[in-house]
């Protein structure tokens, strides 16, 4: 009789087993301490979000939002200072980031593309 193959490969499980074999799981902070009640109560997803936020994790779309804001403000400052060279190209790059942002962020937070005519208003919207 042949050996049955598993229906799926548990890649993360395999990585953790290998990491554990090399001693990577030894001396972890909090080892042997009971979990607090707040970890065991409420919605698992909300607990994950809270823990991730406490550890400094930002979703990709939020990092992109900050990049877009900074790029818009930089472009606006440069135009105000008379440095209009490559402004259209920079605006196109910003709009490409806005497109990526809209694909990643929650639907109510999606934003429209920016034109030179509405650059100042867009800077205020992206605050």
Taking only the tens place, the pLDDT of each residue in 78-127 is: 999 999 889 999 999 999 999 999 999 889 999 999 999 999 999 888 88
CA dist 70 and 67 (Å) reads 5
CA dist 48 and 54 (Å) reads 10
Identify the pLDDT of residue 87.
Answer: 92
**pLDDT over 60 at 1, yes or no:** no
Q: Which residues have C-beta within 8 Å of that of residue 84, sequence separation ≥ 6?
A: 78
**Residue 33, domain member (yes or no):** no
**Residue 70, domain member (yes or no):** yes
Per-residue pLDDT tens digits for 73-88:
999 999 999 998 899 9
Interhelix angle 60-80/87-104, rounded to 10 degrees, is 160
Domain count along the chain: 1
**Residue 105, domain member (yes or no):** yes
Going by pLDDT thresholds of 50, 70 and 90, the confidence category of residue 25 is confident
**Residue 3, domain member (yes or no):** no
**Residue 101, domain member (yes or no):** yes
Q: What range defines the domain where residue 119 resides?
A: 60-126
Identify the pLDDT of residue 10.
Answer: 79
């Amino acid at each position: 009789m042949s050996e049955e193959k598993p229906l799926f490969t548990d890649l993360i499980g395999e990585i953790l087993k290998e990491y554990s074999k090399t001693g990577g799981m030894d001396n972890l902070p909090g080892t042997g301490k009971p979990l607090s009640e707040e970890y065991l109560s409420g919605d698992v997803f909300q607990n994950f979000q809270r823990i991730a936020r406490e550890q400094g994790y930002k979703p990709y779309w939020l990092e992109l939002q900050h990049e877009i804001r900074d790029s818009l403000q930089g472009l606006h400052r440069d135009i105000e200072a008379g440095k209009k060279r490559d402004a259209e190209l920079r605006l196109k790059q910003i709009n490409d980031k806005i497109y990526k942002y809209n694909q990643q962020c929650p639907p109510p937070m999606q934003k429209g593309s920016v034109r030179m005519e509405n650059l100042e208003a867009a800077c205020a919207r992206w605050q």
